[in-house]
Structure 1
Amino acid sequence: MTSALLCLVFAYLCGSVSTAILVCRLMGLPDPRSEGSRNPGATNVLRIGGRKAAAITLAGDFLKGLIPVLVARAFGQGPEVLAATAFAAFLGHLYPVFFGFQGGKGVATALGVMVGLSWQVALAALATWLVIARVWKISSLAALGAATLSPLYALLFGLPGAYALALLPMVALLLWRHRENIRRIRAGTESRIGDKKKA
């Protein structure tokens, strides 16, 4: 029980490290919470700081989802604790205790925890993103489509039910955090891949 609790706390604290804010501070860039779309994520960092800063942010957000799950797995935790650890890391990114609970939208961190839980689910989600992005050329739509299908992929691959149960609230939170994107998608004004409008 103690080791499981430590895994959850570590995961949340790890997720709470806002890569976007730290990268912008270290590179002398504006606070992503006050510039561009005001979202502390890789897309906004790309907008205000360029590709290098965005790539570092993306890698950091991915790793802080992946590492806690791998640590919990290394400690021999079962599916339920692994699933809870994944959700805790994701929740930390959305609501980071170190940064006033003002976090990002969670796409890269969600992919990280998916890789930690199951590379098959992560690969299927990535393939879904690529298909939707190629057809509709809307990154946010591709991310939401891939995330929404991830619990189904977990079930189709015969993974523990706890994984799908952890992915469901993650999907709900992703949809909530992308509600403005969803409104723009419905209105036909959402940014498309390759253009320079605010996402």
Structure 2
Amino acid sequence: MIAGVVICLLAYLLGSVPIGLLLARLKGIDIRKVGSGNIGFTNVLRAVGWRYAIPTLIFDLGKGFFPPFFALWFGLSEWVAILAGLFAICGHNWSIFLKAKGGKGVLTSCGVFLGLAPVPTLCAVGIFCLVLLLVRFVSVSSTIATISLPIFIFFISRDSFSILILALVSAIFVVVKHIPNFKRLMAGTEHKIGKR
């Protein structure tokens, strides 16, 4: 019980680390005040380039992947691992270091599910890549891929009801976090990938 609580708290703290914001500051840029204002990979890429975006991508994936991984590695239950993943996502989305603001949780969620349900997650990543090639909007690709993940989990990992629940919650988070992007899409002001 105590170990589970500790891992979940550490997962939230790790998830809360705004790596994109910190790396952009190395170039004297407050990532929250440029582009979409998001602290994640896509906005870091647009604002400061690949050199800072790639570490952001790796770290955001890692802070989702490792809490559930270590929960299972220490012999804790699948539910504890799932809660650790949820806390990592919540930390990224509502960071204690940013007054409960944060990113959209796409990469951190991807990291969580790469550990818990790798095959369905890779299928969802494939959907992301396909949609991105077709429409060139990261927001659209991320949302569709995240919504597809519970479907893949349902059909591929039939015995993982608890993981399916987490995937549904994660999808809701991603959709809600992308509402500003949907508004920009409607207004014709959303940027395509590769454009600043």
**Aligned CA-pair RMSD:** 1.5
Q: CA deviation at 1:95?
A: 0.6
Q: How does 1:31-180 map to 2 (within 5 A)?
A: 31-157=30-156, 158-180=158-180
* 1:107-154: CA deviation from partner (whole Å, max 9, x where unpaired): 111111111211112101101111211222222111100101111211
Q: How does 1:21-40 map to 2 (within 5 A)?
A: 21-25=21-25, 27-40=26-39
Quick check: 2:89–2:108 contact (8 Å CA) kept in 1? Answer: yes
Quick check: 1:15–1:65 contact (8 Å CA) kept in 2? Answer: yes
> Secondary structure in 1 aligned to 2:33?
coil
Distance 1:156 1:181, change over 3 A: same
Quick check: 2:12–2:90 contact (8 Å CA) kept in 1? Answer: yes
Q: CA deviation at 1:187?
A: 4.5
**CA distance in 1: counterparts of 2:37 and 2:182, whole angstroms:** 17
Quick check: 1:137–1:193 contact (8 Å CA) kept in 2? Answer: yes
User: Number of matched residues?
Assistant: 195
Q: Amino acid of the residue matched to residue 89 of structure 2?
A: F
Q: Amino acid of the residue matched to residue 9 of structure 1?
A: L
Query: Paired residue for 1:20?
Result: 20
When normalised by structure 1's length, the TM-score is: 0.91
**CA distance in 2: counterparts of 1:54 and 1:73, whole angstroms:** 30
Q: Amino acid of the residue matched to residue 66 of structure 2?
A: I
When normalised by structure 2's length, the TM-score is: 0.92
* 1:150-192: CA deviation from partner (whole Å, max 9, x where unpaired): 1121111224111111111211111111001122334554322
Distance 1:24 1:67, change over 3 A: same
* 1:3-38: CA deviation from partner (whole Å, max 9, x where unpaired): 11112111111101111122123x233111222221
Deviates more, 1:104-113 or 1:131-140: 131-140
Gapped regions of structure 2 (runs ≥ 5):
none
**CA distance in 2: counterparts of 1:168 and 1:35, whole angstroms:** 31
Quick check: 2:46–2:194 contact (8 Å CA) kept in 1? Answer: no
Quick check: 2:64–2:111 contact (8 Å CA) kept in 1? Answer: yes
